[in-house]
């Protein structure tokens, strides 16, 4: 009981410390550690993913509290699609049930969340594609928090898709090869990224103790700040979240200069 009280007091003090500081405009979240958490807790992978979805809802509430306007969650990578079919099916089942529940329960309306799915959505089952499209439609008028949901997402593939889209448009305009090469600039490619209308993430948090990006927003993260947390995603605490924000606020951003 005393430990819990001290924890809450410290959390409140930390929140009061950072609430007046600079917040990320765009927060990236690599939600790692579902299966390891489930294994250590004696749970099935499915239950680990369900707990992870509940944690995502909780973290979005924390973001809303700090008025962070954009968040990108990475729920399923292109590489993950090559895992055991039962495991992939468990992740997709959780996505297929969680996203509609967020809209039905009023969670997205309450926080003003607009959902947008990013990734190779055509690789997903039709039912999951339909769920994501319906969520996008149901939340398109919300304007307080843009939520990019990475499903079937990979940073390398995103860059390939962006270059492919640039070339396709150039071919449609019947540009000459020299024009295509001259026009292939950073800004030209960025125009075709999945998150083309978002600022690059200011802060990327990865849970589970792994210190790598694993392909998350490779183009956009060139000048992002990073925070690596040992907690598995289902066990990620508000205190961990606030520490990440405080760490971000304490850094001097140079953007390569």
Catalytic one of 16, 45, 47, 80: 80
Q: What percent of the chain has pLDDT over 70?
A: 100
Quote the CA–CA distance of 65 and 165 in Å, as a whole number. 37
Quote the CA–CA distance of 176 and 197 in Å, as a whole number. 28
Mean pLDDT of 174-188: 95
Is the CB of residue 179 less than 8 Å from the CB of residue 200?
A: no
- Asked whether residue 50 carries a pLDDT value surpassing 90, the answer given is yes
- Asked whether residue 41 carries a pLDDT value surpassing 80, the answer given is yes
- Asked whether residue 37 carries a pLDDT value surpassing 90, the answer given is yes
For the domain made up of 23-154+203-249, the CATH class stated in words is: alpha beta
Mean pLDDT of 43-62: 97
Q: Would you call 32 a catalytic residue per the annotation?
A: yes
Mean pLDDT of 205-213: 96
Residue 8's pLDDT band, with cuts at 50, 70 and 90, is confident
Distances 93 to 98, 106, 128, 175 between C-alpha atoms, Å: 8, 21, 8, 45
Cα 138 vs. chain centroid, distance in angstroms?
20
Per the prediction, the chain carries an average pLDDT of 95
Phi-psi category of 211—alpha, beta or left, where left has phi over 0 and alpha has psi -120 to 50?
Answer: beta
Catalytic one of 32, 45, 148, 200: 32
Mean pLDDT of 65-85: 94
pLDDT at 171: 93
Quote the CA–CA distance of 229 and 208 in Å, as a whole number. 6
Angle at 143 between CA 30 and CA 154, to 5 degrees: 25
pLDDT at 192: 97
Q: What percent of the chain has pLDDT over 90?
A: 91
Q: Which of 22, 21, 18, 28 is nearest to 223 (CA)?
A: 28
Q: Choose between 140 and 1: higher pLDDT.
A: 140
Quote the CA–CA distance of 201 and 112 in Å, as a whole number. 20
pLDDT at 5: 80
pLDDT at 70: 98
**Residue range 138-159, pLDDT digits in tens:** 999 999 999 999 999 999 999 9
């Amino acid at each position: 009981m005393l430990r819990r009280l001290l924890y809450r007091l410290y959390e409140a003090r930390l929140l009061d410390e950072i609430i007046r500081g600079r917040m990320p405009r765009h927060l990236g979240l690599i939600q790692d550690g579902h299966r390891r958490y489930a294994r250590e807790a004696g749970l099935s992978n499915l239950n680990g993913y369900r707990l992870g979805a509940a944690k995502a809802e909780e973290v979005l509430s924390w973001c809303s509290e700090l008025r962070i306007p954009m968040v990108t969650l990475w729920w399923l990578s292109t590489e993950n699609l090559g895992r055991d079919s039962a495991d992939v099916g468990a992740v997709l089942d959780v996505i297929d049930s969680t996203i509609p529940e967020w809209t039905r329960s009023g969670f997205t309306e309450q926080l003003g969340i607009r959902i947008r799915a990013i990734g190779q959505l055509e690789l997903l089952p039709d039912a999951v594609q339909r769920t994501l499209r319906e969520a996008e439609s149901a939340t398109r008028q919300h304007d307080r928090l843009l939520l990019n949901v990475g499903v079937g997402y990979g940073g390398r593939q995103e860059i390939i898709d962006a270059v492919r889209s640039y070339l396709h448009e150039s071919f449609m305009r019947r540009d000459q090869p020299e024009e295509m090469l001259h026009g292939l600039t950073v800004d030209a490619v960025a125009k075709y990224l999945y998150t083309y209308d978002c600022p690059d993430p200011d802060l990327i948090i990865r849970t589970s103790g792994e210190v790598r990006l694993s392909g998350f927003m490779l183009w956009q993260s060139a000048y992002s700040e990073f925070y690596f947390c040992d907690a598995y995603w289902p066990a990620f605490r508000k205190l961990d979240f606030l520490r990440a924000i405080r760490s971000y606020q304490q850094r001097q951003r140079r953007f390569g200069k």
